[in-house]
Structure 1
């Protein structure tokens, strides 16, 4: 059986745990599964011209270029770490995809474009109060994708 398992990754420990759990519990040596590592960069911030001088200095092209480079470097770092974790399962194929935008929307869009069979995500384990203010990417994806979503909670230390 060949499956395309999309694993949403970010810089969190919960994401790393979900990927490791997926490799240990869903992948067998006889399977011909493909793991698709999906990372979503935040979009570049757009700031209105407030007073001309201050914002022009604060958000100059150099500053924006530096912020964009940091975002790209972070994405590359997260992907390298995730690919290293996947090396523990040398029989699995690994693909990578980096999107840009609101993680909730980009993940939902990409799992369909990538023809995934399953979406695996970590959970930050926010309570109802934090989730009400911060939102839950995993909850949004579970309710807005057409494919099964496996949300992996990291055990409390």
Structure 2
């Protein structure tokens, strides 16, 4: 009888930012990609939740209005950014708890578009799942679109999950 070697599961990267669109995309991914059965077997798939914290603001000692920025203020802003990232990731992990999937968390600092594409390439992800804000052409052109950028630059298939119209 031949030995059956179980293949390693999929690596599914999901972008999370705390918004309704990314939460919906995560829930959709879990319902459609991951089995919710509470089997005793260990999970094969790995869900990699990625949150990109924005770069910390850089202030000169005095801004144009003459306001002096102290180290305490910039440290406070950085702490708020870290606390927000922790909150977003804790919420995302709670959403995943009823599914038979291993969850890894990656919080990095940088532009979300670049962070997601770099993560996908680094871990050799099987798919990148993103929510869509549904911006129109002009808004996308002005502020950019993470999903548009990733669909063109990620080194894996990209699944863009749109919320149904309310």
TM above 0.5, yes or no, is yes
Cα distance in 2 for partners of 1:79, 1:131 equals: 26
Answering whether residue 32 of structure 2 is matched by residue 25 of structure 1, we say yes
User: Which residues of structure 2 form unaligned runs of 5+?
Assistant: 1-6
Normalized per residue, which structure has more helix?
1
* Bigger radius of gyration: 2
Cα distance in 1 for partners of 2:145, 2:64 equals: 37
Moved more, 138-147 or 26-35: 26-35
User: Which residues of structure 1 form unaligned runs of 5+?
Assistant: none
**SS of match in other structure, 1:125:** coil
- CA distance change for structure 1 residues 19 and 51 in 2, over 3 Å: closer, same or farther? closer
Q: Which residue of 1 aligns with 2:71?
A: 61
Query: Which one of the candidate residues 85, 94, 101 is aligned to 1:84?
Result: 94
Answering whether residue 134 of structure 2 is matched by residue 106 of structure 1, we say no
**SS of match in other structure, 1:78:** helix
**SS of match in other structure, 1:46:** coil
Moved more, 25-34 or 130-139: 25-34
Answering whether residue 138 of structure 2 is matched by residue 129 of structure 1, we say yes
Q: Which residue of 2 aligns with 1:3?
A: 10
Query: Which one of the candidate residues 152, 158, 161 is aligned to 1:143?
Result: 152
Q: Which residue of 1 aligns with 2:56?
A: 44
Deviation beyond 4 Å, 4+ runs, structure 1 = 49-53
RMSD between superposed Cα atoms in Å: 1.8
Cα distance in 1 for partners of 2:34, 2:53 equals: 27
Cα distance in 2 for partners of 1:94, 1:50 equals: 43
**Aligned pairs, how many?**
154
Moved more, 106-115 or 4-13: 106-115
Residue 114 of structure 1: CA displacement?
2.2
Q: TM-score w.r.t. structure 2 length?
A: 0.87
Q: TM-score w.r.t. structure 1 length?
A: 0.91
Cα distance in 2 for partners of 1:131, 1:52 equals: 30
